Structure 1
């Protein structure tokens, strides 16, 4: 026999209560530890003293990324 409990005026079996507790526990932990969507990383701001220097830095970074992608294959 199963132990029966009266909840809100209805008879509920102990096995139903156990399944409800486990479902709530696992669902809560899945939502809690699931994390959010991953955002693209942003580069730090370029603090250049002139627009030419800012352009040079951006071009250098683009070339470095391109050479890194070519080296990985």
Structure 2
């Protein structure tokens, strides 16, 4: 037999209380962690002496990132 508790005027089995407790515990943990968050990468400032040099550095970094992503996907 199952232990019965009276909650709000109703008889509730102990196994239902255990299920509710575990659901609330793990549901609260899941809700508080919120899953994976989007990672932001901070890049250092580009100290270029001219706008052409800054464009070259930016395009080089973009092509290097694209090559790295292509290499990682294979």
TM-score scaled by structure 2?
Answer: 0.63
Distance 1:57 1:19, change over 3 A: same
Q: Does 1:64 align with 2:64?
A: yes
Q: Does 1:50 align with 2:42?
A: no
Deviation at 1:54, TM superposition (A): 0.8
Partner of residue 38, structure 1: 38
- Report the secondary structure of 1:30's partner residue: helix
Q: Which runs of 5+ in 2 are unaligned?
A: none
Aligned residues: 72
Q: Which runs of 5+ in 1 are unaligned?
A: none
Partner of residue 17, structure 1: 17
TM-score scaled by structure 1?
Answer: 0.63
Give distance in 1, aligned partners of 2:67 and 2:14. 64
Moved more, 6-15 or 58-67: 58-67
Give distance in 1, aligned partners of 2:32 and 2:17. 22
- Report the secondary structure of 2:49's partner residue: coil
Report the RMSD for the aligned CA atoms in angstroms. 2.7
Distance 1:7 1:50, change over 3 A: same
